Structure 1
Amino acid sequence: MVSDTTDVFKEIRPYRDDEVAGAIQRLIHDDEFIGAIAKYRFSGLSRWGGAAIRSLIRLYLGWRWRKVNSIRQVQLEVATYMEKMIARTTSGVTYSGLENIKPGVGYLFISNHRDIALDPAFVNWGLHSHGLDTVRIAIGDNLLRKPCVTELMKLNKSFIVKRSAKGPREMMKAFSELSSYLRHSIDEGHSIWIAQKEGRAKDGDDKTDPAILKMFHMEGKRQKIPFGDYIRSLNLVPVSISYEYDPGDLAKARELHAKATHGGYEKSEFEDIQSIVQGIVGQKGRVHVTFGQPVHGDFDNADDLAAAIDREIHANYHLFPSNLLAAGQTAGVDPAAAEAFERHMTGIPADLRERVLSMYARPVLNKD
């Protein structure tokens, strides 16, 4: 464990065991956090007895979390909520490729990005269910606008990507620190989850941003290690996450439509938080996660590596009937699945249907 005097990553790292109890107490006494639980779990009752409901929630959480004093215990607590969410909002979650992942080894999982919170959550569920340690999660500081969200994320092994850094010097410092933290984590046997690009693939087109791969290498450049050699040392594993139904498909289509028709889209202040909630409570159908082979090729530059990661993610993307039907491929699709997809599409406003269809069809086109 890093001592406080040498805690060079304190600004961006997740909480440690000795910080868990304090963070939990801050959450329990956070009015906004308790109010959010009251709204989403007891919406009918909270209108009539709001203060009493919030007091009961505080008492319950204080009792429920009274013995939680380590990150491992937090992860077990999260697992109980994941199990309930999977039962309520999916038709099952399946995995492939986990045989490639060895216990005690730190991996850099780079995945396609469809949902802010669920993508790393489903990666973690697969690892946890197979007796492997969960990941440290890269999260943009744009999501940390509420203190309670910061507490929750840092308790759940999230580290901060400073997207708000301004100016070349500040950005260089932030990315250098991030690159060093990734190296530090992997060397200590802690795996990392990071999206292949900033922001979700709202149009369904999963593409790796070479700038992220260049960031990985910044620590390697500092150590004068060639790009290809350094990348191999990171145990980089491409991950493909596919949802039969994207709980955020309508919101994504609205954003794309606004950009196409009005030339831009202005997010509301807490829209990302609303997207996280919608992802958790929305129906997802079946979900499949594929862990690819660790990248071992010889790559001279970030562009070549990005292309290789894309090929792996596209090849391993599990196609559901929703993808095939959207791409006009009806052969062999179960009639019940076709009926379910038709019902889903009737809930999409007519002016957005083509965008949603394109979103679901894109993974099929990427495989060709």
Structure 2
Amino acid sequence: MMDEFEAIRPYTDREVPTVMARLFADREFLDILARFRFPKLAGPLGWLLKPLISRKLHKEFAGIHSVDMLQQRIESYVERTIARATDGVTYSGLDGLQAGQSYLFLANHRDIVMDPAFVNYAVFQTGMRTPRIAIGDNLLQRPFVSDLMRLNKSFIVQRSLTGRREKLAAYQLLSAYINHSIRSDGESIWIAQAEGRAKDGDDRTDSAILKMLHMSRKDEAFAETLAALHLTPVSISYEYDPCDQAKARELYTRASTGSYQKTPGEDDASIALGITGYKGRVHVHFGQPVVAPQEDAKQLAYALDQQILSGYRLFPVHYLAYASWDERDPQLAVPQAATLFSSDELERARQEWNRRLQACPVEQRPYLIRQYATPVRNQYRVKAGLPL
């Protein structure tokens, strides 16, 4: 038993029945389910709905005694969510992964829950074991959220610590856990390339995360540690981001006031909108596992960025946004959307893009455009061999 990782690790199989029983009795959790399933009735009839939902959950998940069984049972819910909120999900690069091998999937980060969910779903479909998921403790303010995430193979990244010594100890523990998971347990890991979502569409790997991976293995060279983790870049592309308006508002507020203060429940709202909101098409590309990592963390981050940015799937909306962007790069030969997509596809995208622009306050629109235009600039810079 990994006692040293007790505070951050996901739940084990033997803990599953106890945690599920706790969840199905949690009033806050049942209240959210009631409001999600029966929005009109949840207020006046919540007292009646909650025990009914609890009973249904007990019945539906009876006999689940392991994390794998739970994920198999949840698969149909994930498929239903994908069917409702997307126009289809496609994958590429999975043939570069070997069954039985554990990987450190390092991905661009746009959505709190759906980024790892789509990676999980892809890996699950191939018959490989799903990765353990890194999630910040800032998102686990309520016990039932922590229970839900840790049941689904999430481990905790302690971001809310303020003391330098505590932070250092937390990163040391995190580093040890990730190395232990891949090298000893044979379990893959998903982690975002940087702390927090890329709200401006600029996907960049933070070299501090790569350095953290080496913290617990100082007896090894940096490149040796990273090679043992089978570091694999992943590009997740959403045609439309359900949270794009909220991100534009945050970026505008930061630019005009110098800071941004989240309101209570804002993360919960982002999670809910990210799961249920319309995404259009979604593409997940698995890059080439890094066989011989650079010895320098910044150089390795740059090499990972080249893979992540070139693996990003650009949709018509990205080209439409780029064409209207004030910060277009004159060095880049970016083609017109009309030369790349059919007129029908382009017209649908134009209508949806105009709808989003109209819904966005005028002063915030440059930040909405930037989110969709930046991936175009980044990808064409990589193609042209220009510095990022």
Task: Please give the TM-score of this superposition, normalised by the length of structure 2.
Answer: 0.91
- Matching residue of 1:127: 123
- The alignment partner of 1:285 has SS state of coil
Structure 1 residue runs of 4 or more that deviate by more than 6 Å after TM superposition: none
In structure 1, C-alpha distance between the alignment counterparts of 2:265 and 2:300, rounded to whole Å: 35
Aligned counterparts, 1:308-323, within 5 A: 308-323=303-318
Question: Aligned pair in 2 of structure 1 residues 228, 267: CA closer, same or farther (>3 Å)?
Answer: same
- Out of 263, 281, 287, the position equivalent to 1:292 is 287
Equivalenced residue count is 362
- The alignment partner of 2:156 has SS state of strand
- Matching residue of 2:241: 246
- Out of 50, 54, 58, the position equivalent to 2:54 is 58
2:321 is equivalent to residue 326 of structure 1: yes
More divergent stretch after superposition (265-274 vs 141-150)? 265-274
- The alignment partner of 2:4 has SS state of coil
Q: String of CA shifts for 1:5-55, please: whole Å, max 9, x gaps.
A: x52111100000000001101111100000001111101112332211111
- Out of 202, 215, 219, the position equivalent to 1:218 is 215
More divergent stretch after superposition (113-122 vs 340-349)? 340-349
- The alignment partner of 1:132 has SS state of coil
Q: String of CA shifts for 1:318-338, please: whole Å, max 9, x gaps.
A: 101111111113333333332
- The alignment partner of 2:78 has SS state of helix
In structure 2, C-alpha distance between the alignment counterparts of 1:281 and 1:269, rounded to whole Å: 20
- Measure how far apart 1:305 and its partner are: 0.7
Contact 2:138 2:160 in 1 (8 A): yes
Q: String of CA shifts for 1:227-272, please: whole Å, max 9, x gaps.
A: 1111111100000000000011001111111111111110123211
Consecutive unaligned residues in structure 2, runs of 5 or more: 324-335, 382-388
- Matching residue of 1:340: 352
Amino acid across the alignment from 1:366: N
- Measure how far apart 1:298 and its partner are: 4.2
Aligned counterparts, 1:79-158, within 5 A: 79-158=75-154
Q: String of CA shifts for 1:92-112, please: whole Å, max 9, x gaps.
A: 000000001111111000000
Consecutive unaligned residues in structure 1, runs of 5 or more: none
- Out of 186, 189, 192, the position equivalent to 1:189 is 186
- Out of 24, 39, 42, the position equivalent to 1:43 is 39
- Matching residue of 2:296: 301
The CA RMSD over aligned residues, in Å, is: 1.2
- Matching residue of 2:66: 70
Contact 2:226 2:293 in 1 (8 A): no
- The alignment partner of 2:88 has SS state of strand
- Matching residue of 1:282: 277
Q: Percent identity?
A: 49
- Matching residue of 1:207: 204
Aligned counterparts, 1:170-189, within 5 A: 170-187=166-183, 188-189=185-186
2:256 is equivalent to residue 261 of structure 1: yes
In structure 2, C-alpha distance between the alignment counterparts of 1:105 and 1:130, rounded to whole Å: 13
2:380 is equivalent to residue 365 of structure 1: no
Question: Aligned pair in 2 of structure 1 residues 175, 30: CA closer, same or farther (>3 Å)?
Answer: same
- Matching residue of 1:349: 361
2:231 is equivalent to residue 236 of structure 1: yes
More divergent stretch after superposition (266-275 vs 9-18)? 266-275
Amino acid across the alignment from 1:280: I
Amino acid across the alignment from 2:363: D
In structure 1, C-alpha distance between the alignment counterparts of 2:266 and 2:66, rounded to whole Å: 31
- Measure how far apart 1:196 and its partner are: 0.3
In structure 1, C-alpha distance between the alignment counterparts of 2:47 and 2:61, rounded to whole Å: 21
Task: Please give the TM-score of this superposition, normalised by the length of structure 1.
Answer: 0.96
